[in-house]
Amino acid sequence: MKRNLIIALIAFAAALLGVFAGRALAPAKQQGRVDIHTVLHERLDLDAAQARKLDALESEFAVRRRALEATMRAHNRRLAEAIEAEHRNGPAVEAAIDATHVTMGELQKATLAHVFAMRALLREDQARIFDEAVTKALVEEQQ
């Protein structure tokens, strides 16, 4: 009985971690939600040079994001294996969770670097609109 309770608690914790990771990696589109790329492409009236540079940045970031997402999936598989093997919050489970958190941090840092790289392409008037959209997106994400 006690063993089943422990397994259930670990499974619940893993499920919560999976939901968090899923939302961080592939947030669902919500009605009225600020999409930074929509702001860039539809509201900022980018010139041709800005658009070309933005396309290059987006292509580069897509490669990095996919690599980090693949790493997250691998960490989740290792976490599942560790839970199955240890049936407790043992060293392999802890290591898998820690590895997941490191990769999640790397993804967040890469995303912010991408946001700042996009911002660097903008004129001052465009940057103000972009900054408002970024701030709104971050606040909405927390609600």
The dihedrals phi and psi of 26, each to the nearest 5 degrees, come to -145, 70
Residue 25 identity: L
Q: Rounded to 5 degrees, what are φ and ψ at 25?
A: -85, -35
Q: How confident is the model at residue 39 (pLDDT cuts 50, 70, 90)?
A: confident
Domain boundaries, the chain: 2-142
100: left (phi > 0), else alpha (psi -120 to 50), else beta?
A: alpha
pLDDT, tens digit (0-9, with 9 covering 90-100), for 85-141: 988 888 999 999 999 999 999 999 999 999 999 999 999 999 999 999 888 888 875
Q: What is the CATH number of domain 2-142?
A: 1.20.120.1490
